[in-house]
Structure formats: structure tokens, C-alpha cells
Amino acid sequence: MKEELRAIVGDRGLVETAHEREPYEVDWRGQYHGKAAIIVRPATTDEVSRVVQVLSEARIAIVPQGGNTSMCGGATPDGSGTQVIVNLSRMNKVRAVDPNNNTMTVEAGCVLAELQRVANDAGRLFPLSLGAEGSCEIGGNLSTNAGGTGVLRYGNTRELVLGLEVVLPDGRVWEGLRGLRKDNTGYDLKHLFVGAEGTLGIITAAVLKLFPKPRAMATAMAAVDGPAQAVALLGKLRETCGDRITAFEFLPRICVDLVLTHIRGSRDPLPARHPAYVLVELSDNAEIAVANATLEEALGGAVEAGLVRDAALAASEAQRLALWGLRENISEAQKLDGVSIKHDVSVPVSRVPELYERAGKALAEKYPDIRIVAFGHVGDGNIHYNCSKSERQAAEDFFRQGADVNHIVYDVVHALGGSISAEHGLGQLKRDEIKRYKDPLELELMRNIKKTLDPHGIMNPGKVL
């Protein structure tokens, strides 16, 4: 089989030595260690199509992979040594930028940060932004329907795509690269592949939406008492600033402490310690001085209303990046601090304070030592309700509690009308858990769609369903 694939992709398209293979077979968190039969890196849609055709005929399972930054083991093969990783990173061309249509057509392996740069160079904004943007790829972003820090204003990845090119599980290519904002010619098939986590086909290219580039970004770190004040602050800022609020991220003090401890060069945002913080960003078409004044005035009003304890407004790009560093480095700092149990959950924004209260109380009753590191996209109701082990607990003991800790958190989320996966997907981490919380009818419909598109079950088996 390997030689058949080599004939399609050449020597450069195969990853062969044990040393080179490792980064493809282990996930970002180091929780899943898989073993692939072959790791193949096609460079064109035609190569992907021929590779998939060969594997499909032999009924060999395929694990699509982009930047391999999945938080739920979605891109890691199982340990059987029979699955083939099809990594898309060599498909990294920008095929076209159309400023008048406000779109760009890009290949799946383009790194997100690179696409942000391409948009910027064309005088536009591609607003998808997340901590892994230096290594995650747009095919992975589409396949997970990634969220990140711009969702409040621009929506998640699903809302940023107009067309897709997809290699189907039998190797045929669906040419759906349309750049249309209106197209009601039946079912909108692209949405099946967005968020499918590689279980329905391989995305090879996409038409993405571009937006006007804001002239100024005003950024501040506001200290608050807790989640209730953060939610109230969001309402107040939206009253005065409307859609100009483009990011609204919640950081309890423990997150700031983790970053200060583990990430060199980070600094406390304010002179005193506070229980929690909100990183707020306003994007404006006015001059930066005007944008800063608008945010300052809005936060001043919130201080008077008793919602904000203190605030630091970034006075330069370096200060802005430093504030963002406190937010974007939380995952890395938590990883450096030791093992964690992650919960990427969402509830209606209005119920975020209840989530903190109820899950916090339930966990403290049963696991008084557990450290709750719950932060994130409060403006979307999406909280990373993570738990870290206490210093004196052994990692194995902590993980043994994992299923019970999951249920405590997920039961609260479910009771609040929430979701157990807001933006990272199910992967293999939540494949079984979802059965407890999702409507059986919805799961049945999902299985039927899977059977129709992938009758032999070769696309990323063991993930999602």
C-alpha cells in the first residue's frame, strides 16, 4: 500500500522515520498516542483524491489531519497501526483573493495566522482568531467549526465560509467552491462538512469571507468581582458600544497567576490583585484616540455603576499584545502546570453565573482539593470549565476521578440548557459522553448522514459517533 501511495505523492509526501512520525501521532495535550500505518502528505486536490480512492478501495481507515492542535484527540489515529493519516499541511496555497467580492479562496493546509496576514495585505480582515493560530490550519478550523475570540462579532468558522471543495470518502471531488452570498438551490451541503471533524470527507479548499479592516482597536483589562459582574458588564458595554465590542473574555485570578508563573515576560495587568478580569476589545473605524476614549468612558461608567473595580487600557500595540498574552497563554500555562480535565461547554450567556455557582459548589462538595480553572469566551456563553489537580494529588488518582468530574460539570451544563462541546468538537474525548446528553433522534440522524456519505465507515472512525 505504501508504494502505491508513494507513486501518487512522491517521497516528499510520505513521513517515514520514527522521529519524524511522532508529532503526527500524538495530540497537542499529549493525551492520545496513536500509531498510524502510513502518514501521507498530498500536495494537491488531485493527489488527495487519488490517495483516498486507493485507501477506499482497500477499505483502509483515514484520519484527516491539519495542524494537529485538536483539544479532543480528533486528529490522532487509534493504536491499531492500521489507520492512515492524511495530513493536509502541504496544500497551503492561496488560490485567489477577490477584494470586491470580499472573499479569498484558500487551500485546507493554510495556517490560520498566514491567512490573517494575506487578508491584511489585501486591506481586509479575516476575523477568525484563536490561541493556536500560529499552527492550526483552515481545514482543521472548518472541520471543527472553530470559535475563538472573535465569535461575538463575526461568528464561528461556519459563518465565515461561502464555499468548499471536498474529497468524498470514495475519492470523488465535490466542487463547491462558490463565492456566493445568496444561493438557495436546495440543501446547503457545505454545512455538513463544517464541524464534521473529518468523518464525512476531506476539505481541500474553501472560499472564505473577508471583512473591512477596523482602523483602531481599543483594548482593556477590566477587573471584576466575578462572572455575574462580567455578564452585566457585557450588557452595559453593548448598550453604549454596540457591535464594536469584538472580544469579551473572562479570566478568573487563578488564570492570571498560572500565566505569570509559567510564561516568561508576562506582567500583572493592574497594581492590585482582583478576583477576576475581563479582556475587552473594541474595533472601530475612528482614530485610535477616539476608540480609546470611547472604551475608557464606557468602562468609567461601569466603575461608577459598581461593575468594574479597576481597569487598564492598552496605550500601545505592545501593551495590547501583553494583555492578550495573559489570555492566549492560559492553555499553555495550564499544560505546563500539570495535567487537567477539560470541559469546553456553553450555556446561554445569561446563565453563565449559574454555571460557575452550581458546578463550583458541586465540585467543591465532592472534590474539595480540585483547582477550578474556568475561563473563556463569556460573550458567547462558552466557558472552558477546566479542572487542574491539586499539588499533592497523583496524576493517576486525578484522572481516575475524570469521568465523575465530567458528569458533575456536564449535568449542570445540561440542566442549564447547554452543550458539552461549544467549539472544540467531540473527537474521541467526548464520543461516548455525548450519548448521555444529546437527543437520540439527533444522533440517529447523524448516523444516517454518515452512512449515506461514508457507507464503509472509513473516514476518521472512532471520532464523533
Contacts with ligand 2HG, residue ranges (CB under 6 A)? 131, 330-331, 342, 376, 384, 386
Is 49 an interacting residue with respect to ligand FAD (CB under 6 A)? no
With cell 495585505, the residue in question is 121
Amino acid at the residue 217: M
Among 77, 140, 252, 353, binds ligand FAD (CB under 6 A): 140
Q: Is 42 in the site for ligand FAD (CB under 6 A)?
A: no
Residue type (1 letter), 286:
A
Report in angstroms how near the CB of residue 71 gets to ligand FAD at its nearest: 5
To ligand FAD, the closest distance from the beta carbon of 240 in angstroms equals: 26
Min CB(301)–ligand FAD separation in Å: 29
384's contact among ligand FAD, ligand 2HG, none, with CB below 5 to 8 A by partner kind, is: ligand 2HG
Distance between CA atoms of 120 and 176, rounded to whole angstroms? 25
Binder among 21, 114, 116, 131 for ligand FAD (CB under 6 A): 131
Residue 143 sits in the site that holds ligand FAD (CB under 6 A): yes
User: How many Cα atoms sit within 13 Å of 21 on the Cβ side?
Assistant: 18
The mark string for 61-90 relative to ligand FAD (x by CB under 6 A, - otherwise) is: --xxxxxxxxx--xx------------x--
- Minimal CB distance to ligand 2HG: which residue? 331
Q: Torsion angle of alpha carbons 282, 283, 287, 292, nearest 10°?
A: 10
The full DSSP string for 320-348 is HHHHHHHHHTHHHHHHHH--EE--EEE--
Q: Which is nearer to ligand FAD, 74 or 269 (CB)?
A: 74
Enumerate the β-bridge partners of residue 105: 96, 207
175 contacts 165 by C-beta, under 8 angstroms: yes
Inter-residue contact 33 to 79 (CB < 8 Å): yes
The listed partner (ligand FAD, ligand 2HG, none) that binds 136, CB under 5 to 8 Å by sort, is: ligand FAD
Residues 353 and 371: their CA atoms lie apart, in Å, by 18
Q: How many angstroms separate the CA atoms of 421 and 433, rounded?
A: 10
Q: Measured between alpha carbons, how far is residue 348 from residues 226, 245, 275, 414, 450 in Å?
A: 17, 18, 23, 11, 29
Tell me: does residue 108 bind ligand FAD (CB under 6 A). Answer: yes
* Binding partner at 64 among ligand 2HG, ligand FAD, none, C-beta below 5 to 8 Å by kind: ligand FAD
Q: 460 touches which of ligand FAD, ligand 2HG, none (CB within 5 to 8 A by kind)?
A: ligand FAD
* Interaction pattern, residues 293-332, with ligand FAD; x per rule: CB under 6 A: --------------------------------------x-
Amino acid (one-letter) located at 131 = G
Burial label, 395 (beta-carbon count in 10 A; 0-12, 13-18, 19+): exposed
Which of ligand 2HG, ligand FAD, none does residue 68 bind (CB under 5 to 8 Å by kind)?
A: ligand FAD
Q: Which residues of the chain form contacts with ligand FAD (CB under 6 A)?
A: 28, 63-71, 74-75, 88, 108, 130-132, 136-137, 139-141, 143-144, 146-148, 197-198, 202-203, 331, 423-424, 427, 460, 463
